[in-house]
Amino acid sequence: LAGVYVPADIYVRYLRMKGEDVLLIGGSDEHGVPITLKAKNEGVTPQDIVDRYHGIIKKSFEDFGISFDIYSRTTNKTHYDTASEFFKTLYEKGEFIEKESDQYYDEEANQFLADRYITGTCPSCGSEGAYGDQCESCGSSLNATDLINPVSMISGSVPVIKKTKHWYLPLDKHEPFLRKWILEDHKEWKANVYGQCKSWIDQGLQPRAVSRDLDWGVPVPVEGADGKVLYVWFDAPIGYISATKELTPEWEKYWKDKDTRMLHFIGKDNIVFHCIVFPSMLKAEGTYNLPENVPANEFLNLEGDKISTSRNWAVWLHEYLEEFKDQQDVLRYTLAANAPETKDNDFTWKDFQARNNNELVAILGNFVNRAIVLTHKYYNGKTPEMGTAVEEFDKNSLAEIDVIVKKVETSLDSFRFREAIKEMMNLARLGNKYLADTEPWKLIKTDEERVKTIMYISLQITANLSVLMEPFLPFSAIKLQTMLNLSGLKWTDLGKTDLLTPGHIINKPELLFAKIEDETIQVQLDKLEATKSANIVAAKTAAPAKENISFDDFTKMDIRIGTILEAEKVAKTKKLLKLTVDTGIDKRTVVSGIAEFFNPDEIIGKQVSILVNLAPRKIRGIESQGMILMGEDANGDLVFIQPSKQVKAGSEVR
């Protein structure tokens, strides 16, 4: 929400209020591989899975006030048609590279087999149980087609070799264009976006496969492509187009008109797809506009830890909407004010509370309340005349409205939402200061004419505020406008000093924002604490035992106590240490992925358990002759399996 939907919604509401013809398009990307895995796990179809979530997500967005013109999904027919057509166009234009290769096919399961799903005898060492991509015994890298006696791991049948064709989008071909378009013509893009694009382009782009041998996705729409679907990253961005089509017959205007500006609001993990891949697709197709900007944001953490839906480390929108009824704007405000625009940021409930109590309640809500309460007290809710006692200070204060509006516009136009929302709050600050400086509650006893002017101006500030806050706090803006008995105001009304005309009746004051008490926050913190505990418990639960093996199988393993003699980091790797171990039998080299947990110096001289008859395997060009046994705890921390007291190197472990 923080990085993508809230900023996008603010921006779009702003443009709509300016009277621009704008659409906010979004949708669920439903062809991801995790979806098929989840379906398999639960024994249901992928469609069941996506049906379950799409509705919930869509409704949550709606209730939260993310004003999508359409929130669609990539499993609907329009999308299938659109994506197919898009592919066909590129295909016919010769924008793809076709590569044919031999691949095993399981005739029983009716599908092509990924290398990992094929097992057989290794052609180089003759051992059984080698996988299609490599032999675990000798470590050689294999082509699946080289395996002797291959067997499908899915059905157990003997697979047949079939030619399979895949299509690749030659990103390298578009490199000169991308270089100019991004690196020269879009220097104004955010540093994080520009930097990552530059990095990709400078490293040289490779052709990227756009098809896969899977059964979940949009079928590849050319002859001889049975059982092939569009790779998810290819079809997903086309979803933006499909959704627009679904929404309006005039969809082409939004995608192809020269004057249309397209923007992608995304998270930083999606930069490459939206800045390099999708634009290349659009360019290749030829008739579409390219994005004008991609204001990608960084990530928002939660109470110091990365948000993770699988670990339930998250604030679920549908739960928030229930537990904080009618307080969408509080979360919108907090998220916008903390948007991770330049670096990852942290959401904390304490900050949420503080933003509400110290800013929304104290500054904004309070000012509005003061103005309206006083109006009712002095004039029974009737807007007074401007009065004749207008001073320089009054004029300056009114003029200040325009200055603030301009600043908000500048900030929004350059996608600086934190700055924009802060400026918006400054209008409420202006109001508070105006009241404090003019003190109408004192003057009412001595100078009623002057008080009319003061209240008139205070009300105009309030009315302006109700418009200015609308993109950010739409629910509260409507509430305030209802209180003021106003409606249909536009962005161009901002700065006007007669939004409420003399005699205009305003309604009774209601509080815009309610204080949030410590207990309420504590409930949320407790909930997260419970999640944390649950995760720890879950992590403590040991994995289920593997299948039984015979004693013979066990005795095949030759495990010894060895002593580490030397240790050094393998260059250009993060995890690997190259160890020299005295096994008692010999001194041998072992490559071990423990560099993140041990300094080479610290472990020299340590006794460890080592599997000495594991087939050698080349890792990073170094032949590893054995495996150091490690214990791994739930956090992934590694510890050595060591003898409880010093024993002779070469002692057997049984």
Would you count residue 365 as binding RNA (CB under 7 A)?
yes
Question: What is the C-alpha R_g of the chain?
Answer: 32
Q: What is the nearest approach in angstroms of RNA to the Cβ of residue 537?
A: 22
Taking CB under 7 A as the criterion, the residue among 437, 586, 602, 652 binding RNA is 437
Choose the binding region for RNA from 27-35, 165-173, 190-198, 579-587 (rule: CB under 7 A): 190-198
Total residues in contact with RNA, by rule CB under 7 A: 75
Taking CB under 7 A as the criterion, the residue among 91, 299, 324, 475 binding RNA is 299
Q: What is the nearest approach in angstroms of RNA to the Cβ of residue 641?
A: 13
Taking CB under 7 A as the criterion, the residue among 75, 111, 196, 524 binding RNA is 196
Paired tokens of 273: 């797809």
| DSSP for residue 220 | P
Q: What is the nearest approach in angstroms of RNA to the Cβ of residue 344?
A: 5
* Interaction residues for RNA, span 545-604 (CB under 7 A): 569, 571-576, 592-594
Q: Which of 424, 412, 292, 429 is nearest to 6 (CA)?
A: 412
Q: What is the nearest approach in angstroms of RNA to the Cβ of residue 470?
A: 17
Q: What gap in Å lies between CA 64 and CA 45, rounded to an integer? A: 30
Q: What gap in Å lies between CA 353 and CA 525, rounded to an integer? A: 12
| DSSP for residue 101 | E
| DSSP for residue 228 | -
Taking CB under 7 A as the criterion, the residue among 21, 269, 322, 326 binding RNA is 269
Q: What is the nearest approach in angstroms of RNA to the Cβ of residue 619?
A: 6
Would you count residue 461 as binding RNA (CB under 7 A)?
no
Tokens 């659109």 sit at which residue?
A: 82
Shorter beta-carbon distance to RNA: residue 208 or 504: 208
Taking CB under 7 A as the criterion, the residue among 272, 389, 521, 528 binding RNA is 272
Shorter beta-carbon distance to RNA: residue 77 or 445: 445
Would you count residue 344 as binding RNA (CB under 7 A)?
yes
Cβ neighbours around 612 below 10 Å, total: 22
Choose the binding region for RNA from 19-27, 44-52, 256-264, 510-518 (rule: CB under 7 A): 510-518
Q: What gap in Å lies between CA 393 and CA 435, rounded to an integer? A: 12
Please enumerate in sequence order all residues whose Cβ is within 8 A of that of 490, keeping only pairs 6 or more positions apart, or say none. 17, 18, 19, 467
Q: What is the nearest approach in angstroms of RNA to the Cβ of residue 248?
A: 34
Q: Which of 633, 640, 555, 572 is nearest to 603 (CA)?
A: 640
Taking CB under 7 A as the criterion, the residue among 343, 508, 540, 645 binding RNA is 343
Cβ neighbours around 52 below 10 Å, total: 12
Would you count residue 241 as binding RNA (CB under 7 A)?
no
Q: What gap in Å lies between CA 133 and CA 140, rounded to an integer? A: 9
| Contact (CB, 8 A) for 607 and 561 | yes
Taking CB under 7 A as the criterion, the residue among 74, 84, 338, 397 binding RNA is 338
Please enumerate in sequence order all residues whose Cβ is within 8 A of that of 183, keeping only pairs 6 or more positions apart, or say none. 194, 197, 198, 201
* Interaction residues for RNA, span 390-429 (CB under 7 A): 418-419, 422, 429
Taking CB under 7 A as the criterion, the residue among 56, 160, 373, 539 binding RNA is 373
Q: What is the number of H-type helices and E-type strands within the chain?
A: 22, 25
Q: What is the nearest approach in angstroms of RNA to the Cβ of residue 7?
A: 13
Q: What gap in Å lies between CA 467 and CA 404, rounded to an integer? A: 13
Taking CB under 7 A as the criterion, the residue among 298, 303, 394, 582 binding RNA is 298
Q: Which of 624, 117, 599, 62 is nearest to 317 (CA)?
A: 62
**Termini Cα distance of the chain:** 55
Q: What gap in Å lies between CA 317 and CA 48, rounded to an integer? A: 22
Taking CB under 7 A as the criterion, the residue among 436, 542, 545, 549 binding RNA is 436
* Interaction residues for RNA, span 54-93 (CB under 7 A): none
Q: What is the nearest approach in angstroms of RNA to the Cβ of residue 426?
A: 8
Would you count residue 163 as binding RNA (CB under 7 A)?
no
Would you count residue 176 as binding RNA (CB under 7 A)?
no
Would you count residue 195 as binding RNA (CB under 7 A)?
yes
Would you count residue 448 as binding RNA (CB under 7 A)?
no
Taking CB under 7 A as the criterion, the residue among 53, 441, 475, 640 binding RNA is 441
Would you count residue 535 as binding RNA (CB under 7 A)?
no
Paired tokens of 415: 């996608």
Shorter beta-carbon distance to RNA: residue 67 or 192: 192
Angle formed at CA 184 by CA 180 and CA 188, multiple of 5 degrees: 135
Partners of residue 71 on adjacent β-strands: 26
Paired tokens of 259: 């004057």
Partners of residue 354 on adjacent β-strands: none
Shorter beta-carbon distance to RNA: residue 253 or 376: 376
Q: What is the nearest approach in angstroms of RNA to the Cβ of residue 547?
A: 20
